[in-house]
Structure 1
Amino acid sequence: MRGGTTSRAGRDGERADIPAAPRRRARWPRILLGIGLTLVALAGLAVVGLRALTDRYDRTVLKEQLLAPDARTGRTDLSGPLNYLLIGTDRRPNDTNPEQRADTILVVHVPAGLRQAYLVSIPRDLLVTIPAGSGYPGGQDKINAAYEHGGGGEPGAQLLSSTLSRLTGLRFDGAALVDFAGIRQVVDLLGGVRMCVDGEVRSIHTNRVFTPGCHQMNGAEALDYVRQRYDLPGGDYDRQRHQQQLLRALLDRASETRLRNNPVKLDQVIRAVGGSLTVDTNGVALEDLLFSLRGLPPDSLRGVQVPSYPQVIDEVSYVVLDNGGNGLFDAVRGSAMPAWVGANPRWVVKL
């Protein structure tokens, strides 16, 4: 796709020399809530307690068919390896706002044995071929537009999953669609999170200045920090890294506060998360899924970025794959992620 053209180049309005206007709300944290709860909040609970909590949680989340048939594994075996698609969007179920792009896309890869997890951030501006669907004729665009072209909600998630599956060759064992509600409350319920800032960052939303060093941040501060990408040395790549670091910080903080031993606070977190989450468990009972993943410790997480580089096409900024992703998607499809991570340290994020 080097030097190519796109039939939808002008839709995003984000030209190389003019930063796009900031979105109203952060997108990525919605993802953190679903996976964070799965990985840590229920870890270590007795079976009886787990069943009681998952029953309550099961009744708070919306269930839809988020995966297209060609993007779904169709299997219910939870022994691994497992791949889950997590999508963040501003759109709530009854929101009629036409701006429905999914600006956070994350693949969670859990190898066999279920003792480690890789968080693969898909660049929001990645240039891809989106197949026809839901009235959209098909064409090239940024991957975050697939959700919009599908009409948002369930059909939008299906078109996005189909787009990503065709690009990577992956089929998914489940998916989650999460909106903004709850993340600030969850961070505050945990008493804030500890985030380490590499270099000075000035918020384009609040003019808050984040100074280098490790800081205890409340929900509003953490969300503001990880939304930033302009004026950062690595741009959106730095933002992806900060997003993944906040997930680790949330898991660490939940462990420190012994959330699983505090039923009142755990119930508050569950209620904060549940209203923000739509899930597709691929036919697996939510209780079984949470029980299978309960043993993943926070230090088992590895952040991964897709080998890619920015390119301007028709005066619009895109991201294009570097050498087809440099074998990353082959590794995710199989059992080679540890070897790939060892051979590609440039694209591995320290969490």
Structure 2
Amino acid sequence: MLLSGVTGFGLRALLDRYDRSITKDDLLDPAARRHHANVTGPLNYLLVGSDRRPSSPDSEQRADTIMIAHIPASLDRTYLISIPRDLLVTIPQSTVTGYEGGSDKINAAFQHGGGGQGGTQLLSATLTRLTGLRFDGAALIDFTGFQRVIDLVGGIRMCVDAPVRSIHTKRQFNPGCQQMDGAQALDFARQRYDLPNGDYDRQRHQQQLLKAILDKISTDNLLTNPVKLDQVLRAIGSSITMDTNGVAIEDLIFGLRGMRSDALTGIRVPAYSEMLDGTSFEMLDEGAADLFQSLGGRHVDDWVSSNPKWINQI
């Protein structure tokens, strides 16, 4: 979206710098990879968010954010499907860490796989076993690194629905739409305690964060400021490890150049809470199987129109 208005030599130079700033790795388990190296929809990308916190070194071992980005055949919009971090699943064994497999919360798959590449591979295999989907690519995102991106574009506008006090910084967030810098926005998007819908509100705020970044980038006229554009692109690139499934970055950017921030829709996976042996888990509800089936084909629009209760307002 950023680069769609740049042409000629300037575009090639930016693409080259952007491509070199991104770490590339095999993030998908072979069983979770869809084997076709082109940008032909519908597409499903796995997004895994890591929020490294120096004050809590173990926290980076569990994935804070798990999303499926579904792009229909038209390649002009995106559905962001947030997977509940406490969803009870069967995690396969890991040849990297020697984990023998078993039942656990889905965000523990990242830990059982050793984090990083191995953790993302095990998480992708877990999701494929759960949903039947194979992925066209994946991205491991350091959301802490996105703090610099947000600051570079001058902050973003986030809307607070209910008062919440950060358990990390003790910052108080009061209701209303407001401008936030990178530290404030990421702090807000991490909160789930004391919110009316707990982690489901947190999922929606994470979707809102990504949309707000795209909104600001698309309205900030970065194309007229090549220095700032270069800084933003390199900051985004340095915060992401990508698996493009063999597709060149240039082809991916051109293939998705029709995407706009107002064409993002947030989806909540149908699930419900249940206590098992004193531990709270999320369990898949009716409708989840239909959602996953629609993501594998061309009927997501139909599922969305028939299931408004699971659509997030972002």
Report the TM-score, using the length of structure 1 for normalisation. Answer: 0.84
1:130 aligned partner: 91
Paired residues for 1:92-103 under 5 Å: 100-103=61-64
Higher mean displacement: 200-209 or 249-258 = 200-209
Deviation sequence 1:215-257 (CA, Å, 0-9, x none): 1111111111111111111000001111111111111111111
Partners of 1:100 and 1:65 in 2: CA distance: 18
Alignment-mate amino acid for residue 165 of structure 2: R
Deviation sequence 1:264-302 (CA, Å, 0-9, x none): 111111221222211111011111101111210111110
Gaps of 5+ in 1: 1-39
Out of 116, 119, 125, the position equivalent to 1:156 is 119
Deviation sequence 1:171-205 (CA, Å, 0-9, x none): 00000112244211111111111111112222222
| Structure 1 segments of 4+ aligned residues over 3 angstroms from their partners | 96-99
Native 8 Å contact 2:50 2:60 kept in 1: no
Alignment-mate amino acid for residue 72 of structure 2: P
Secondary structure of residue in 1 paired with 2:17: helix
Distance 1:292 1:64, change over 3 A: same
Deviation sequence 1:147-184 (CA, Å, 0-9, x none): 11111221211111000011001000000112244211
The CA deviation at 1:47 is 4.8
Native 8 Å contact 1:120 1:305 kept in 2: yes
Partners of 2:112 and 2:289 in 1: CA distance: 28
Distance 1:97 1:240, change over 3 A: closer
Out of 69, 73, 91, the position equivalent to 2:30 is 69
Higher mean displacement: 320-329 or 166-175 = 320-329
1:211 aligned partner: 174
1:176 aligned partner: 139
Out of 184, 187, 190, the position equivalent to 1:221 is 184
Alignment-mate amino acid for residue 106 of structure 2: I
Alignment-mate amino acid for residue 191 of structure 2: Q
Higher mean displacement: 48-57 or 289-298 = 48-57
1:49 aligns to 2:10 (yes or no): yes
Identity %: 61
- When the two structures are aligned, how many residues end up with a matched partner? 309
The CA deviation at 1:323 is 2.3
Partners of 2:5 and 2:241 in 1: CA distance: 25
Deviation sequence 1:86-127 (CA, Å, 0-9, x none): 1112469xxx96951112111000000101110000111110
Distance 1:292 1:332, change over 3 A: same
Out of 205, 226, 245, the position equivalent to 1:242 is 205
Native 8 Å contact 2:45 2:135 kept in 1: yes
Native 8 Å contact 2:92 2:125 kept in 1: yes
Out of 255, 269, 272, the position equivalent to 2:235 is 272
Native 8 Å contact 1:181 1:275 kept in 2: no
Secondary structure of residue in 2 paired with 1:271: helix
Secondary structure of residue in 1 paired with 2:211: helix
Partners of 1:179 and 1:226 in 2: CA distance: 14
Alignment-mate amino acid for residue 86 of structure 1: L
Over aligned residue pairs, what C-alpha RMSD do you find?
Answer: 1.7
1:323 aligned partner: 286
Native 8 Å contact 1:107 1:121 kept in 2: yes
Partners of 1:260 and 1:311 in 2: CA distance: 49
Partners of 1:89 and 1:203 in 2: CA distance: 18
Secondary structure of residue in 2 paired with 1:327: helix
The CA deviation at 1:261 is 2.8
Higher mean displacement: 228-237 or 174-183 = 174-183
Deviation sequence 1:50-95 (CA, Å, 0-9, x none): 3221211111111111101110011012121011001112469xxx
1:341 aligns to 2:287 (yes or no): no
Report the TM-score, using the length of structure 2 for normalisation. Answer: 0.94
Higher mean displacement: 340-349 or 42-51 = 42-51
Gaps of 5+ in 2: none
Secondary structure of residue in 1 paired with 2:266: strand
Partners of 1:98 and 1:194 in 2: CA distance: 27
2:251 aligned partner: 288
